Structure 1
Amino acid sequence: MTLLRAANVQLSFGSRTVFQGLTFTIEEGERVGLVGVNGSGKSSLMKILAGAARADTGELQLRRQARVTYLPQEPVFAEGATVASELSVAQGPLREALAAQADLAKRLESTPAGAAQEKLMEQLATLSDRIEQMGGWDTEHHAKTLLDRLGVKDWDRPVAQLSGGLRKRVAIARALLTRPDLLLLDEPTNHLDADTVDWLEEELDKLPGALLLVTHDRYFLDGLVDRIVEINPGEGVTSYPGNYQAYVEQKMVAQENAEVAQHKRERWIAQEVAWLRRGPEARRTKSKARIERAQKLMAEKGFQRPKVADLRVMAAPRLGHTVIESEGLEKSFGDRKVLSKVDFRLQRGERVGLVGPNGVGKTTFLRVLLGELPPDGGKLVIGKNTKVAYYDQNRAQLDPELTVYDAASQGEDWVELGDQKVALRDYLDDLLFPVPMQRMKVKALSGGERNRLLLARLFLEGANVLVLDEPTNDLDIVTLNVLERLLLDFGGSTLLVTHDRYFLDKVATSILTFEGEGRVTRYEGNYAMYRRLKDQADAQAAAATPASAKAAPKKEEPPAPPKQARKAGKLSYKDQRELDGMEATIEAAETRKASLEAQLADPAIYSNGGKVAELQKDLDATIAEVDRLYVRWQELQDLAAGTA
């Protein structure tokens, strides 16, 4: 059943048409990802659908009595609001339903058997289902669990005293507690660490209502959505079934087909133009209809590959043997230990990703390395040839009162890119800042546009070490792909803080994880490799835990709130992808098991006792993994069949 329908929606700002003829629907329970370049109108459309803004023209239809919750990029709170009061507001509809349920139950007690009683019982059953959908009866426990998982500890603290990141987390908890029929989320993963993003994905996957999601987190889109809707700037939307990966594949095929069609169109136009130029004598032998058809085709807008920001890096001096090194680095704020005897070495060409919960010291570590904060102890060495460019997640380097051109120029009207000298005005145009936009003040730009401007200025500093603190926030997916390629081609070294798991998988050569209480651990490889190594280490630590500790009595917890079950036979996209790849995963694990068994069957190996012990340990772990995979495969098969 259709939950929401938008038809021929148009929005303009002055002479600029944001979108027009925009038409699409959202079905009950559907999960939709909304994508498009910065400035294409994603946030504006979300506001229109939420009723927070009005379109110039068009029609919106929402299913009767459907509840909509909207979480903007920058959440809004009532004056004087506390964490508890905001969550209480979110639970208002539930409290009203509970009160109505109690009233119905009381009336039922005094209603004699008959048609009236049956009607009340039907109403009571419907209301009970509604209460269950909105989270059931144990909502306060669920609210506190949400806040605790989101890292918000102070239940009675005024929201105005919280940081921007904590305010966003309170808003996420508030939105989740409403359990609406349609949840609109605009960049919900900004300011969240990677582990919290994983948790949020699981929470959203359990919600029974429909979801419309704007995010640059491609793994988040892959794991959640059933369909991608792309806004075409100045036009309408195109819908692609499937998750983000399916969208990318379909879009590539569509663009290739469009380019082939455009090539044929251009050849046909060239032929017709040559014929038209032959003069009246030639045209008299042809039909009037052909002339009109040729003129119409030439007037039509042909296919043009979308323009993307052309980020480039100014040439930098070659790095020396020493880039940045620390030994025994210490840093505390009062009684809170942030860095404890941290040894770190950044080498030429490395791209190190920094991950960990918010507030554990990632930004502090960067600022100590850059000399902005003095360490309490330890040794820090910066190479003689090391030249650092720093991207601040708060974008404090951008003066909001400057024009775009002046903010980028820093007193220079020309930039050197490789062996080329390019006018700054032309370079900004390549970055999707056309000349009229270059005269705008920075404060008038969107978050993504400010981010792109700051990155462009940063890359013109001629640095050989890039220190980037949350550079991916607010960037559209197209620009993220450009930034990925730029960092992969960059000849220097990079330190990178981001919660974007996909970005870290593409870019990082190693991961530095901040674990709290000053502990910092380095893992070689990208983010996916780090997760595998971390899971293995955790499993080994759990296996080494004494049995007495494992058997320690657990503190009794209140029962978890009821969960809305998935429809029988319907797997989430995340589970479906896991099931699709399970056969190959099991086969690889079985192959490894057979290889280890064959090595242990070779008598020659027993001359090396240490090698035998290592192989036996690997075999035991592989056998356990094979068993786990078969159990998981059966679970997924049962879910798919609706028997779980």
Structure 2
Amino acid sequence: MTLLRAANVQLAFGSRTVFEGLTFTIEEGERVGLVGVNGSGKSSLMKILAGAAKPDLGELQLRRGARVTYLPQEPEFPEGATVQSELAVSQAPLKEALDAHAELSRKLEADPAHATQKMLEQLSALSDRIEQAGGWDTEHHAKTLLDRLGVKDWDRPVAQLSGGLKKRVAIARALLTRPDLLLLDEPTNHLDADTVDWLEDELDKLPGALLLVTHDRYFLDDLVDRIVEIQPGGGLISYPGNYAAYVEQKLVAQENAETAEHKRGRWIAQEVAWLRKGPEARRTKSKARIERAQKLLAEKGFQRPKVADLKVVAAPRLGHTVIEAEGLKKSFGERKVLDGVDFRLQRGERVGFLGPNGVGKTTFLRVMLGEIPADSGKLVIGKNTKVAYYDQQRAQLDPEQTVYDAASNGEDHVELADRRVALRDYLEDLLFPVPMQRMKVGALSGGERNRLLLARLFLEGANVLVLDEPTNDLDIVTLNILERLLLDFAGSTLLVTHDRYFLDKVATAILSFDGEGKVTRYEGNYDMYKRLREQSRAAALKAAALKKDEPKKDEAREEPAQKPAQKKLGKLSYKDQRELDGMEATIEAAEKRKAELEAKLADPAVYSQGSKVAEVNQALEATTAEVDRLYTRWQELQDLAAGTA
């Protein structure tokens, strides 16, 4: 059944048409990815679909009674809102259903003799509604979400939170509504890679439909079953399947279009040659052929979509020493951010930084850049090392400057590696046409500002690029270009990013920050990092299990002074015998769960997650009690079988 239908939707800002003629549908339960170049109107369309903005033309139809939840890139909250109050608002429909269920249950219990079939059907419908909306324990579910997202202060005013924490509260608020249609605009911004993995799993469990704008290509690959692309010239193209299928279909379509254009070119050449013959071509019986040739000559043929062309200014060759750190320490009050960190960046390396927000990734970058001093340790910057820094807050851009002035730095030409070009031409290659170059930076979209900042960064002639969340708000095509540029870059790169696909493509090593000041280096890309980390955790679990088994082995070596006499077996009931037969496997599973929880508590990273420690401790206590209970029951059954009970 169709959940949402949009017909002939059009939007313009002044004389600039953002999109026109957009027509599409979203079916119940469908997962759709929305893609398009920066400035094509993806966020504007999401606002229109959410009812937060109106189109200039067009019609929207939403299924009667359907609930829509919208998570914008920059979430907004009412004045005076707390974390708890925002989540309570999101669960209002669920609370209403719970209250109605409680009231109806009370009536039925008070007067069961007058219970009608209609009342019982209402109770069943309310139960189904509660289950669909997230279950019975609303506060526990909300707190569990916040804990996993790293939001620790339940009663704290939202206005006092950082931008990243506000985004996490907004994500929890959106997930708790469990709507029929969830609209998400760049939900992975400000999240670390592990939280992005978790969010992907949570979204996969939601029963409703999903419309997703994201630059995270793994998100698109794992979550969506259709991708809709906004065309720069207007209109939409729908591609069935996930991101991998979309890329394959785009490639085939482009190859077919180029083949058709090649045939069209040959046919036009033949017609032009025929027209030049003169009188023969002007005969009456040839008029149709003349008209067809003229129409073909007037038509625009296939044009490959224009994409941003990022280029790096030639930089000096790096020396033997690029950046070296030894024993770096940095604390803020009692909190250790860096605790004896050693690091060496070599020529040509591309090192990604991973870890939860607030564990010291950006602090480490700023120490290496000399923006803040380390408390102790040694830092050496090579004499040929020239660093360019990309700030995730985009603080390096003045919103009142024009695009041209922001890029120029007083120069009207750019010295590229192979040629000298006018700055206006360079900016046009970056999809900033001349009229746009006169615009104020503050009027640009997030992706356009990012592209401008990257363009300016690459003009600095640096041989070490320090990029703090460079992929935020960039369209997928520009991301591919940035990846190729970094792969071809002769210098070294440091990357703070949550984009797993990006790290898989470009990283040669990963630095993992644990939240307690320790940093571990893993060679390889993101996929290799995940495998090495899992192997390390598995080894730790195995070591913990072996350590636990050691006392039992010692006991086994001690021969008893005298073997007890074989006891006469008693008789177990069928049910008890079945229980005894499965007891060994049950105890083994409980022991394994206990070992996993003990290993979690041994991992310093868990202590950076606030109430997560208490949650793991509680689970460990419960599991330990369960193990004890199972051993007691096993002994009871053994005694029964031996006839001693």
1:101 aligns with 101
Change (3 A) 1:265 1:14: farther
Aligned counterpart, 1:58: 58
After superposition, the Cα gap between the structure-2 partners of 1:119 and 1:302, relative to the gap in structure 1 and judged at 3 Å, is farther
Aligned to 2:31: 31
Post-superposition CA distance 1:386-415 (Å, at most 9, x none): 000011111111111100000000000001
1:237 equivalent in structure 2: 236
CA distance in 1, matches of 2:22, 2:105: 47
The correspondence of residues 232-311 of structure 1 with structure 2, limited to 5 A, is 232-279=231-278, 281-311=280-310
| Shift, 1:556, TM fit | 4.9
Amino acid at match of 1:555: Q
* In 2: Cα distance, 1:13 partner to 1:265 partner: 37
| Shift of residue 278, structure 1, vs aligned partner | 4.2
Deviations 1:441-466 (A, max 9, x none): 10000010000000000000000000
C-alpha distance in 2 between matches for 1:219 and 1:164: 24
Q: How far did 1:292 drift?
A: 3.2
Aligned to 2:328: 329
**Structure 1 residues 291-313: Cα deviation after superposition (integer angstroms, max 9, x where no partner):** 33333333333221111111000
- Classify 1:271/1:286 alpha carbon distance in 2 versus 1 (closer, same or farther; 3 Å): farther
Identify the residue that residue 419 of structure 1 maps to in structure 2.
418
Query: What CA distance in whole angstroms lies between the structure 1 residues aligned with 2:8 and 2:272?
Result: 36
Deviation at 1:279, TM superposition (A): 4.0
Aligned partners of 2:281 and 2:290 also within 8 Å: no
Q: CA deviation at 1:139?
A: 1.3
Which string of whole-angstrom CA distances, capped at 9 and with x for unpartnered residues, describes residues 237-276 of structure 1? Answer: 1111111011001110011001111111222223333434
Secondary structure of residue in 2 paired with 1:40:
coil
Amino acid across the alignment from 1:11: L
Partner of 1:555: 618
1:105-150: CA deviation from partner (whole Å, max 9, x where unpaired): 4555688989x92233323322221111000111110100100110
Partners of 1:286 and 1:515 lie apart in 2 by 82
SS in 2 for 1:555: helix
1:285 deviates by: 4.7
Give the aligned residue type for 2:491: G
- How far off is 1:19 after superposition? 1.7
Kept in 2, the 8 Å contact 1:111–1:117? The answer is no
TM-score by length of 1: 0.84
Offset, 1:547 = 2.3
Aligned to 1:481: 480
State whether residues 275 and 283 of structure 1, in contact with CA within 8 Å, keep that contact through their aligned partners in structure 2: no
Could you tell me which amino acid in structure 2 is paired with residue 484 of structure 1? E
Aligned twin of 1:642? none
Q: CA RMSD in A?
A: 2.0
Q: How does 1:359-438 map to 2 (within 5 A)?
A: 359-438=358-437
Please state how far the C-alpha of 1:541 moved relative to its aligned partner: 0.5
Q: Give the secondary-structure state (helix, strand or coil) at the position aligned to 2:32.
A: strand
CA distance in 2, matches of 1:10, 1:280: 49
Aligned: 1:452 with 2:451: yes
Distance in 1 (CA, whole Å) between partners of 2:264 and 2:15 is 31
Q: CA deviation at 1:471?
A: 0.6
Q: Secondary structure at the match of 1:418?
A: coil
Residue 280 of structure 1 and its aligned partner are, at CA, apart by 5.4
Q: Which residue of 1 aligns with 2:517?
A: 518
Say which SS state the counterpart of residue 514 (structure 2) adopts. Answer: strand
Letter in 1 for 2:318: L
Shift of 1:153: 0.2
In structure 1, what is the Cα distance between the partners aligned to 2:295 and 2:92? 58
> Which position in structure 2 is the counterpart of 1:343?
342
8 Å contact from structure 2 (residues 427, 433) kept in 1: yes
Q: Deviations over 1:475-508 (max 9, x none)?
A: 0000000000000000000111000000001100
Query: CA shift at 1:514, angstroms?
Result: 0.5
Aligned-partner Cα distance in 2 for 1:46–1:60: 12
Q: Give the C-alpha shift of residue 558 in structure 1.
A: 13
Mapped partners of 1:106, 1:277: distance in 2: 93
CA distance, structure 2, for counterparts of residue 319 and residue 268 of structure 1: 54
1:119-138 to structure 2, matched below 5 A, reads 119-138=118-137
Alpha-carbon distance between aligned partners in 2 of 1:105 and 1:555, rounded to the nearest angstrom: 33
Task: Show the counterpart of 1:635.
Answer: none
What is the CA–CA distance in structure 2 between the aligned matches of 1:530 and 1:513, rounded to whole Å? 9
Q: Give structure 1 stretches of 5+ with no counterpart.
A: 560-644
Report the Cα distance in structure 2 between the residues aligned to 1:225 and 1:213, rounded to whole angstroms. 8
6-15 vs 549-558, which moves further = 549-558
Moved more, 291-300 or 201-210: 291-300
Which string of whole-angstrom CA distances, capped at 9 and with x for unpartnered residues, describes residues 78-114 of structure 1? 0010100100110011111222333444555688989
How far apart in 1 are the matches of 2:102 and 2:137? 16
Q: Which residue of 2 aligns with 1:472?
A: 471
Amino acid of the structure 2 residue aligned with 1:48: I
What amino acid is the match of 1:290? Answer: R
Q: Could you say if the C-alpha distance between residues 554 and 149 of structure 1 is closer, same or farther in structure 2, counting changes exceeding 3 Å?
A: closer
C-alpha separation in 2, matches of 1:518 and 1:256 = 51
Judge conservation of contact 1:17–1:234 (CA < 8 Å) in 2.
no
- Change beyond 3 A, Cα 1:415–1:127: same
Q: Do the aligned residues in 2 keep the contact of 1:183 with 1:212 (CA within 8 Å)?
A: yes
State the one-letter code of the partner of 2:512. T
Query: How far, CA to CA, are the matches of 2:202 and 2:194 in structure 1?
Result: 13
Residue 563 (structure 2) aligns with: none
In 2: Cα distance, 1:326 partner to 1:105 partner: 67
C-alpha contact 1:356 1:362 (8 A) present in aligned 2: yes
Q: CA 1:530 to 1:557, structure 2 compared with 1: closer, same or farther past 3 Å?
A: closer
Rg (Cα) greater in structure: 2
Q: Is the 8 A contact 1:8 1:21 kept in 2?
A: yes
Deviations 1:554-593 (A, max 9, x none): 625999xxxxxxxxxxxxxxxxxxxxxxxxxxxxxxxxxx
- Determine whether 1:225 maps to 2:224: yes
2:529 is aligned to: 530
Q: CA deviation at 1:543?
A: 0.5
**Aligned partner letter, 2:441:** V
Query: Conserved in 2, the CA contact under 8 Å of 1:18 and 1:234?
Result: no
Letter in 1 for 2:353: L
Which AA in structure 2 matches 1:344? Answer: F
Q: How many residues align?
A: 558
Q: Distance in 2 between matches of 1:19 and 1:496?
A: 34
Give CA deviations for 1:492-538 in whole Å, capped at 9, x if unaligned: 00111000000001100000110111000101101100110010000
* Aligned CA distance change for structure 1 residues 290 and 128 (closer, same or farther; 3 Å): farther
Task: Provide the C-alpha distance between the structure 2 equivalents of 1:293 and 1:14, rounded to a whole number of angstroms.
Answer: 38
C-alpha displacement of 1:226: 0.7
SS in 1 for 2:3: strand
Cα displacement string for residues 326-370 of structure 1 (whole angstroms, at most 9, x for unaligned residues): 110111111000001111100111111111000000000000001
Distance 1:444 1:558 in 2: 56
* Further displaced range: 538-547 or 91-100: 91-100
2:532 counterpart SS class? helix
Letter in 2 for 1:443: G
CA contact (8 A) 1:403 1:442 kept: yes
Is the alpha carbon distance of 1:121 and 1:557 closer, same or farther for their aligned partners in structure 2, counting shifts above 3 Å? farther
Structure 2 unaligned segments of length 5 or more: list them: 550-593, 599-615, 623-645
Q: Distance in 1 between matches of 2:226 and 2:450?
A: 28
In the alignment, the residues of structure 2 paired with residue 67 and residue 292 of structure 1 have an alpha-carbon distance, to the nearest angstrom, of 54
